[in-house]
Structure 1
Amino acid sequence: MADTNCPERRTALVCKELARFNIDVAALSETRLPEEGNIRETGTGYTIFWKGKAPEEPRIHGVGFAIRSQLVQQHNLASTAINERLMTVRIPLIQDRHLTLISVYAPTLTSNEEDKAAFYTQLDQTTSHWSSSLMVALS
């Protein structure tokens, strides 16, 4: 018998809300999940991709995407995790063109200058790498 008192995972709750508003792709921030991975929330029809810090580090930051599983399968989508603040996913369009989505979690004003500079350097490198495709940065 299943434990009905067990709370739903946060990922399932997020996916239910996305389904309620008929959203196909959403960028996620402050995921606070360790390492890198993906999970298919079968009851909601979404796949979550994420990138966080190492398991031994504090569970802060973290970025990801929630994408309808049908789109993931249909287009064989996969994410590219750059670090716990940047992740990309490329969606094929027509005539060998792609839409590159970037999930961005920028350091706040209270972060140290070194962290901010490193983040913006990495963001610049990421956008330069995909400069030939249509690109949208989501925060």
Structure 2
Amino acid sequence: MLRFDPFSDLDALTRGLLTSQTGSSRAPRFMPMDLCKIGDHYVLTADLPGVDPGSVDVNVDNGTLTISAHRTARSEDSAQWLANERFFGSYRRQLSLGEGIDTGAITATYENGVLTVTIPVAEKAKPRKIEISHAASQKSIEPTTVDAD
């Protein structure tokens, strides 16, 4: 059964454009990532195997989270390559952060080729229960009798 995949054509077109501009098909691809919400924070994990930890940069500017990294090419001139499929160069990924993110508390770790960015939700954006106050007890109206004199 054949499956229709419009993105494979777009990917092939993009590779063709990059190849014609740089003269090489060794341009880096996007960094694969996962993003999920756990409790009151988001967790982003991005695969960056073989990237020097010193080249990884995570910053937030004007509501945009930017992740960039660089993998250097091997400089073995005497090597006779039989297969050379690993990409090198600069990687960059940007995400637009919505309202209600505590940008000052974002943290990141890089371990075993995986970058993990923890993005907390701001206190003001967290769901909260609103206490309902009850009106003061009302005075009851008692029936009174009027004497007819």
Relative to the length of structure 1, the TM-score reads 0.30
Could you say which structure has the larger radius of gyration? 2
Structure scoring higher RCO (CA < 8 A, sep ≥ 6) equals: 2
**Greater helix share, 1 or 2?**
1
